[in-house]
Amino acid sequence: MRAISQDALGGPDVLKTVEVDKPVPGPTEVLVRVEAAGLNPTDWKTRATGGLLRMAPPFVLGYDVSGVVEGSGVGQALYKPGDEVFGMLRYPQGHGAFAEYVTAPSRHFVRKPESVDHVQAAALPLAALTAWQALVDVAGLRAGRRVLIHAAAGGVGHLAVQIAKARGAYVIGTASAAKHDFLRGLGADELVDYRTADFAEVVRDVDVVLETIGGDYGTRSLRTMREGGTIVSLALSLLDPGLHARAAELGIRSEAILVEPDQAAMRALAALVEAGRLRAEIAAALPLAEAAKAHELGETNRTTGKIVLTVPH
């Protein structure tokens, strides 16, 4: 099968189309014909540095999958050949979605909502699961709570806005002014242009912060929060080492998370999609062979929403 691999760490130019063996599903696994695969910042960071696991090439990147079940390992009874599914490969060690086929445990997938195509579905898993696990599972976000979402127009951010609104929260986001109309359309209640205003000076009484940027954003966010609130950080490599201690002094819970495959959360997300309450904004959809171009686009950090690779067969 065709896949996108690399023999060295580096820029987008290290990505090459290669021929590799088609994977064989093990016990309880499914073989999925990939129709589309979503990109996430972890992909271009891992391409350049080896990522959290400091992986050595060669490897095939990609965690987000939408496709069609073609086969199963022994003991797998959830899906039959022809079923359309979407999901996330185990993070960070389960990469391999930038290929024509993948195998993974069947419970890493759920049925693709009929209301969206494979491009839409592939844009969701890692980013939407990250938002769900941070806001719902960790922070316990519920109706009436005030939530501050940083980089609200980004891949995780714009999905987090929709999930928070679906939970009945009051949503405040940071984003450039050009993206405010887009975010209002997703339901954001209040927006701060980080280029012209310091959010830490204008936002108050927040119950939950989703911190996606790193650096001093975490400690600055504490100034916006109520005692008893929760801040969840995603940028582990950029986490301010003093954040947890400062939060504890203020009576604020501080957590840092990595996303995990989660079938129950995927089902909840699929239900939101079917209800018309969750949709990924597609910044670009490019064919698998143009993976390097997709990485270049992602690394600009100026896209609104998600980039997806389509896989022709």
Give residue 195's pLDDT: 95
DSSP 8-state assignment for residue 238: G
Examine the pLDDT at 134 and tell me if it is beyond 70: yes
Give residue 237's pLDDT: 65
| Portion of the chain with pLDDT greater than 70, in percent | 99
Instruction: Express each pLDDT in 210-235 by its tens digit.
Output: 999 988 999 999 999 999 999 999 97
Confidence band, pLDDT 50/70/90 cuts, at residue 76: very high
Question: What domains appear along the chain, each with residue ranges and CATH number?
Answer: 2-124+280-310 (3.90.180.10), 140-256 (3.40.50.720)
Examine the pLDDT at 102 and tell me if it is beyond 80: yes
Q: Are 17 and 73 in contact (CB under 8 A)?
A: no
Q: Are 185 and 173 in contact (CB under 8 A)?
A: no
Examine the pLDDT at 52 and tell me if it is beyond 90: no
Between 89-93, 196-200, 226-230, the lowest mean confidence (pLDDT) is in: 89-93
Give residue 235's pLDDT: 77
Determine the residue type at 263.
Q
Beta bridge partners of 36: 66, 310
Give residue 171's pLDDT: 98
Instruction: Express each pLDDT in 247-306 by its tens digit.
Output: 999 999 999 999 999 999 999 999 999 999 999 999 999 999 999 999 999 999 888 899
Beta bridge partners of 253: 230
User: Which residues, 6+ apart, have CB-to-CB distance to 287 below 8 Å?
Assistant: 309, 310, 311, 312
**Mean local confidence (pLDDT), 196-208:** 97
User: Which residues, 6+ apart, have CB-to-CB distance to 146 below 8 Å?
Assistant: 169, 170, 172, 205, 206, 207, 208
Q: Are 72 and 31 in contact (CB under 8 A)?
A: yes
Examine the pLDDT at 77 and tell me if it is beyond 70: yes
